[in-house]
Amino acid sequence: MEVLKRKNLILVEWIRMDFNQQLYEYIKEVDMYLNEFLPNEQEIPDVIVEAMHYSVSAGGKRLRPILLIEAAKCIGADKNMVLPLASAIEMIHTYSLIHDDLPAMDNDDYRRGKLTNHKVFGEGMAILAGDALLNYSFEIMINNVPKDIDNLRNYVKAIQEIAKAAGIKGMIGGQVKDLECEGKTMDIDTLNYIHTHKTGALIRASLRAGAIAAGATKKELDALTIYGEKLGLAFQIVDDVLDIIGDEKKLGKPVGSDKNNQKITYPAIYGIEKSKEMVDKLLKEALQKIEPFGPKSKFLGELGIFICKRDH
């Protein structure tokens, strides 16, 4: 029995190492394409280019672009077709972090172990850098539309999906509600709204946009949508937990900001252990939804496990 247990542990460790290597290669590839897409034109003021590059190149797990690419691969599409969408969604995510760190929002000094954008370039330039990344992301997507009509139609629908998730019906709507509720009593429905919009919307859109661009059927799109919804909520609950018990060195920023900003979180309502149980349940339900894709969803499933079991 002990021998079998040791063999199983070795197998799990090998699988983890294999996934970590794949993820590392994926991150390098996404970084390469982001650098290609980011502006370097001479007529653009140097400081805004530098500020944009600073935050995009600050590191990160590149989860959203990888989710988008993997969703497209589940449908059988060539990843090169969706690379502009994947790069754009990471720029949108980065813009949101720049603005989220501002004194008027969460007032954070560090992000991913580096000084936040406004600490390096000033508040005004940080706002403009975020605005620039948001606008430039759409320029990238529009400049790279496919030539044939069928792929073009799907690609435009994918852009629409990303736009909606980044706007007032998604990320911005969640951020507004989050600001409104600081220091106030909040019910669970409001907390769910904040989590599913502020964080979950862009994760959900990453999967939907990749699937839509690849020409997914309704059944395929529904499965990936639910996977994204479950994963998006689990991601934010994990973030809430790590803000209490996480390692600052691994997180690259101080813990306790939610408490300092008087924000209501899942651990604040349910406690840490119950919150972890909720994450496990969401992960199980999410993985069940992508089982029909078979081997094509292997890495996507492993990525979901990584997101829910991460320590940073």
Question: For position 52, which CATH number holds?
Answer: 1.10.600.10
pLDDT of residue 214: 97
Cα torsion angle, 247, 275, 209, 92, sign:
negative
Residue 247: count other Cβ atoms within 10 Å of its Cβ. Answer: 11
pLDDT of residue 184: 81
Pairing of strands 114-115, 110-111: antiparallel
Q: In sequence order, which ranges of the chain are alpha helices (DSSP H)?
A: 2-37, 46-56, 63-75, 79-100, 117-121, 123-143, 149-166, 171-180, 188-194, 200-213, 218-245, 248-251, 257-260, 266-270, 272-290, 298-309
Pick out the chain residues at pLDDT < 70: 1-17, 247, 250, 252-262
pLDDT of residue 8: 40
Domain that holds residue 145: 2-309
pLDDT of residue 98: 98
- pTM of the entire predicted model: 0.91
Long-range contact set of residues 185-194: C-beta below 8 Å, sequence gap at least 24: 186/264, 188/269, 191/264, 191/265, 191/266, 191/269, 192/233
Rounded distance, CA 14 to CA 35, Å? 32
Long-range contact set of residues 189-194: C-beta below 8 Å, sequence gap at least 24: 191/264, 191/265, 191/266, 191/269, 192/233
pLDDT of residue 16: 62
What is the domain count for the chain? Answer: 1
pLDDT of residue 249: 72
What tokens were used for 240?
């809430």
